[in-house]
């Protein structure tokens, strides 16, 4: 009791002493102490902001020694205050800054300050030269000058990047004659760019990107003859690029990307003789690239991608002696790749994928410059890979997939030690694989699938110490055997070599800790599957279907903790299937086609040992004859009425015939049995599948079957598996995996309202599934119906699976809403439009998840809601406080959602970018 009284007495004494010293402190120090008391300082960044004794000099300020505070030489006035990156939060009290009349620099960037930015700071600190308030949460309108535009006549630097400001851009800033840097990017400013912004006297840097600006870009910007850097993209303007920009003679950097601009590229840009970087990607620019653009010989970076540009690459590009980046991807350009591009001495990155280019690549490509990244995929190029493409020894990414290339792979690629990524799939390359993996120390990704290669897999592949992904599938004449040490490649995760005529046995599974996917289906592999496979602790998928593997199934497979897919069907396996539930969970299809294999989930092994084997065989024979007669009758009826039924199976479904599937409907006439558009059926082996019925209209059979085949080949952990389909001239029955839980996302979230980790996993999973459909399938597959009821779950791990993907687009084709005879460009435009709908619906889905279902289909309603109000609602729904580290992560996810639901399609990110933003949000706040 006595000690408690002493403690209280000491505390009172120190508080009294602090009060006395504070009262005795100078006004500057008092203001800073008051400022500190108003702020939230979770990191204790201002721990040295306190007074113990009065300074030696009566005039010296006590605060001059504090962190972030800089005074003049005699310590009588504060001239600089730097509170950047100190994890501070709260509203700034403007009156606490009035005493700092001599302040020259104020930096409060990279914190979490909120509320309106105090006008007192902006208009009373008349000596201020530099003001940095970037990367905060300031909201409301930017301070208005009330007609007093000269109050900050000395201001040179103003950075307000990444806040939540709204309303129009502040016009009065144009009166600041000394202003050289103005950054108002990354907020929610609306309206048009004021024409007054064309009358800055000294401005050198202007950044207005990433707002909600609209209207026409004012031609007065052409008056900014002192400007060297201008970024005004990622807004939603109307109209065209003003040709007057060509008057900005000092301009070195111009970015108007993602701005909804139409028209064509102005010829007047040729006057920008100092321009080094020109970014006009992701607009609606059309017509040909003007020949005059080649006169900007100072260009280093040129990105015109994701537009509607047509025509050929101008020969005038030969003048780009300093050009390093040339990006023309995702346009409608044609013709050949000119020799002049191969002659550019500084070129290191060439992106022209997804156009209509044809002909051969220039033979000198790579010989005259240090090419680092080449992507010409998804065109119609022919001929061989240039022999010298890596002659300068720095090439690290070579992307040539989905063309018509032929010939052999150049031996020079094996000497290209800098290669990291090679994608040559979907061509007609022949001959042997020339790689010597010991000479490719950094290679991590190789895809040579869907070619005509021969000679087997190089034996030294295990020496590729950084190889992560290797796909050689669908080279039917490849042959050879599996390299003996293939599984010991230290970082190899994905090994795919299906349909390659590979023979011999499976190598011993030693040192295979990193492998996650093994795909070797439809080969001639023999021998046994040895118990050493249990050492592959990361294995998730093993597909050995359609080989000649003998022996039993090793029980140790059950010890693999991550194994979710196993297919051993159509081999020569024998004995009983191990009783562990892991094996039974794979379903019957994983073991079908092995005549001497028994045990659950196949028939019990005791049936094979029964003494009544003869009677069973007789009964089976009678049943078979009856079924055969019924099948023949059914076949005859269907042949006459609707045409022959055919079956298409994908990975995960045994090789059934169409009759097997039709008989499972329980009626000799399936059109009578399957009345509903979606139902269930039990296949002959006991597998239950989801069946969707599609009625073919107006001779759309080939179109629908092509889309279904593409959908069936799309395999991803976040997509519901399409197992196969059977069809005739009038009907299609599509078979879906039935292993998913019937509980939908909406139902799941009712039980997981406060679980941020689960919500984050679901959002990321959906994004990955959509990204795969949009960017890794060719042509892209639009989902068409992204909503919570179409998201199912494979297990209690809450891994989401997208259902119904592609069906809406396919139905449009079937019903003639989309022309199946239109040219490729028109079809691509339709797909792009559907992709944009997916992105918009994904943004709505994020908001639905974050608000526990309160904001459903709220894209239109949310447009006018202030961002800070929305954030508060989301924080409340997820019980995230201002001091919670998760707040920053939640905020970034909300920002991704708001980007996705922007009313103008060109302002939305693609799914690849959206997934990247989500990943950055997660990594930043770990």
What positions carry a catalytic annotation?
785
Classify 857 as helix, strand or coil: coil
Answer whether 213's CB lies under 8 Å from 194's CB: no
Beta strands 469-471 and 494-496 are parallel
**Distance spanning both ends of the chain, measured CA to CA:** 46
Residue ranges of alpha helices (H) inside 92-232 are 119-124
Residue 194: DSSP 8-state: P
- Rounded Cα gap, residues 834 and 832, in angstroms: 5
Answer whether 708's CB lies under 8 Å from 734's CB: yes
Beta strands 40-41 and 69-71 are unpaired
Q: Which residues, 6 or more positions from 234, have their beta carbon under 8 angstroms from its beta carbon?
A: 209, 210, 211, 257, 258, 259, 907
Three-state secondary structure readout of 864-926: CCCHHHHHHHHHHHCCCCCCCCHHHHHHHHHHHHHHHCCCCHHHCCCHHHHHHHHHHHHHHCC
Tokens of 694: 């599609």
Tokens of 805: 């993907």
Tell which residue, 379, 378, 340, has the closest CA to residue 358.
379
CA-based R_g, the chain, Å: 34
* Per-residue exposure over 430-442, b if at least 16 CB sit within 10 Å of its own CB, e if not: beebebebebbee
* Number of helices followed by number of strands (H, E) in the chain: 17, 47
Answer whether 382's CB lies under 8 Å from 407's CB: no
Strand partners, 240: 262
Strands of 345-468, DSSP E? 349-351, 356-360, 373-375, 380-382, 397-399, 421-423, 430-431, 445-447, 452-453
Tokens of 377: 């995929």
Answer whether 323's CB lies under 8 Å from 295's CB: no
Kindly report the CA angle at 658 between 655 and 663, in degrees rounded to 5?
A: 110
Check whether the bond before 601 is cis (ω within 30° of 0): yes
Calculate helix-pair angle for 824-850, 911-924, nearest 10 degrees: 30
- Rounded Cα gap, residues 401 and 377, in angstroms: 5
Classify 77 as helix, strand or coil: coil
Dihedral (C-alpha) 552, 558, 560, 565: value to the nearest 10 degrees? Answer: 80
Beta strands 678-682 and 688-695 are antiparallel
For 620, phi then psi, to 5°, come to -65, -40
Classify 36 as helix, strand or coil: helix
- Rounded Cα gap, residues 320 and 329, in angstroms: 18
Residue ranges of alpha helices (H) inside 642-755 are 658-663, 670-673, 701-713, 745-751
């Amino acid at each position: 009791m006595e000690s408690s009284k002493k403690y209280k007495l000491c505390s009172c004494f120190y508080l009294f002493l602090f009060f006395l010293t504070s009262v005795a402190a100078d006004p500057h120090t008092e203001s800073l102490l008051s400022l500190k008391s108003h702020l939230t300082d979770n990191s204790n960044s201002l721990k040295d902001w306190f007074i113990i004794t009065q300074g030696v000099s009566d005039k010296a300020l006590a605060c001059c020694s504090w962190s972030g505070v800089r005074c003049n030489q005699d310590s009588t006035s504060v001239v600089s205050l730097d509170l950047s990156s100190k994890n501070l939060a709260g509203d700034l009290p403007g009156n606490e800054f009035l005493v700092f009349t001599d302040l020259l620099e104020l930096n409060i960037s990279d914190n979490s300050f909120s509320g309106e930015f105090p006008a007192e700071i902006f208009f009373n600190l008349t000596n201020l030269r530099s003001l940095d308030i970037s990367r905060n949460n300031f909201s409301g309108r930017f301070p208005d000058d009330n007609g007093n535009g000269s109050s900050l006549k000395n201001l040179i630097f103003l950075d307000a990047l990444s806040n939540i400001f709204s309303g129009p851009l502040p016009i009065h800033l144009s009166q600041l004659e000394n202003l050289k840097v103005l950054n108002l990017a990354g907020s929610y400013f609306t309206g048009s760019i004021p024409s007054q912004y064309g009358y800055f006297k000294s401005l050198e840097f202007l950044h207005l990107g990433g707002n909600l600006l609209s209207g026409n870009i004012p031609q007065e910007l052409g008056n900014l003859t002192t400007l060297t850097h201008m970024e005004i993209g990622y807004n939603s303007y109307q109209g065209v690029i003003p040709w007057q920009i060509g008057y900005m003679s000092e301009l070195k950097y111009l970015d108007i990307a993602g701005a909804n601009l139409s028209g064509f590229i102005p010829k007047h840009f040729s006057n920008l003789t100092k321009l080094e970087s020109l970014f006009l990607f992701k607009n609606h620019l059309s017509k040909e690239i003007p020949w005059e653009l080649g006169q900007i010989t100072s260009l280093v970076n040129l990105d015109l991608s994701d537009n509607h540009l047509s025509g050929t690459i101008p020969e005038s590009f030969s003048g780009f002696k300093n050009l390093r980046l040339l990006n023309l991807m995702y346009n409608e350009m044609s013709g050949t790749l000119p020799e002049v591009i191969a002659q550019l001495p500084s070129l290191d990155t060439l992106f022209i994928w997804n156009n209509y280019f044809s002909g051969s690549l220039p033979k000198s490509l790579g010989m005259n410059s240090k090419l680092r990244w080449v992507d010409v995929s998804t065109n119609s190029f022919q001929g061989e890979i240039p022999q010298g493409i890596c002659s300068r020894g720095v090439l690290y990414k070579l992307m040539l997939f989905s063309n018509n290339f032929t010939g052999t792979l150049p031996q020079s690629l094996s000497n290209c030690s800098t290669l990291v990524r090679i994608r040559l799939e979907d061509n007609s390359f022949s001959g042997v694989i020339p790689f010597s993996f010991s000479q490719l120390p950094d290679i991590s990704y190789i895809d040579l699938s869907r070619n005509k290669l021969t000679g087997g897999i190089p034996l030294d592949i295990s020496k590729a110490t950084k190889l992560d992904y290797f796909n050689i599938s669908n080279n039917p004449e490849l042959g050879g055997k599996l390299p003996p040490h293939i599984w010991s490649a230290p970082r190899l995760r994905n090994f795919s070599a299906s349909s390659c005529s590979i023979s011999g046995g499976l190598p011993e599974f030693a040192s295979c800790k990193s492998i996650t996917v093994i795909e070797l289906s439809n080969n001639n592999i023999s021998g046994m599957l040895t118990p050493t496979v249990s050492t592959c602790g990361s294995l998730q998928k093993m597909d050995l279907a359609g080989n000649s593997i003998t022996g039993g199934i090793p029980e140790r497979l059950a010890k693999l903790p991550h194994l979710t897919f196993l297919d051993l069907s159509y081999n020569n396996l024998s004995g009983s299937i191990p009783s562990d539930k892991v094996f039974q969970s794979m379903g019957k299809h994983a073991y079908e086609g092995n005549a001497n294999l028994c045990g659950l989930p196949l028939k019990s092994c005791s049936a094979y040992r029964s003494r009544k084997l003869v009677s069973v065989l007789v009964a089976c024979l009678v049943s078979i004859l009856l079924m055969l007669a019924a099948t023949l009758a059914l076949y005859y009826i269907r042949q006459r009425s609707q045409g022959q039924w055919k079956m298409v199976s994908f990975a995960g479904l045994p090789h059934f015939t169409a009759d097997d599937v039709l008989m499972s409907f329980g009626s000799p006439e399936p059109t009578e049995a399957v009345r509903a558009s979606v139902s269930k059926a039990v296949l002959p082996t006991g597998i239950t599948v989801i069946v969707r019925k599609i009625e073919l209209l107006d001779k759309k059979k080939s179109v629908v079957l092509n889309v279904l085949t593409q959908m069936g080949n799309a395999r991803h952990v976040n997509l519901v598996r399409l197992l196969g389909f059977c069809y005739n001239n009038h009907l299609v029955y599509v078979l879906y995996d039935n292993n998913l839980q019937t509980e939908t996302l909406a139902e799941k979230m009712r039980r997981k309202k406060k679980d941020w980790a689960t919500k984050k996993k679901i959002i990321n999973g959906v994004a990955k599934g959509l990204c795969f459909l949009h960017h890794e399938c060719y042509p892209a597959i639009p989902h068409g119906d992204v909503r919570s009821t179409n998201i199912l779950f494979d297990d209690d791990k809450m891994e989401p699976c997208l259902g119904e993907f592609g069906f809406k687009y396919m139905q449009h084709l079937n019903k003639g809403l989309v022309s199946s005879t239109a040219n490729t460009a028109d079809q691509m435009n339709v797909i792009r439009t559907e992709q944009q709908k997916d992105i918009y619906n994904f943004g709505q889905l994020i908001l639905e998840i974050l608000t526990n279902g309160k904001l459903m289909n709220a894209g239109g309603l949310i447009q006018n809601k202030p961002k800070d109000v929305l954030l508060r609602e989301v924080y409340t729904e997820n019980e995230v406080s201002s001091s919670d580290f998760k707040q920053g992560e939640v905020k970034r996810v909300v920002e991704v959602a708001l980007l996705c639901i922007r009313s103008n399609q060109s302002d939305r990110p693609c799914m690849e970018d959206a997934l990247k933003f989500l990943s950055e949000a997660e990594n930043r706040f770990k």
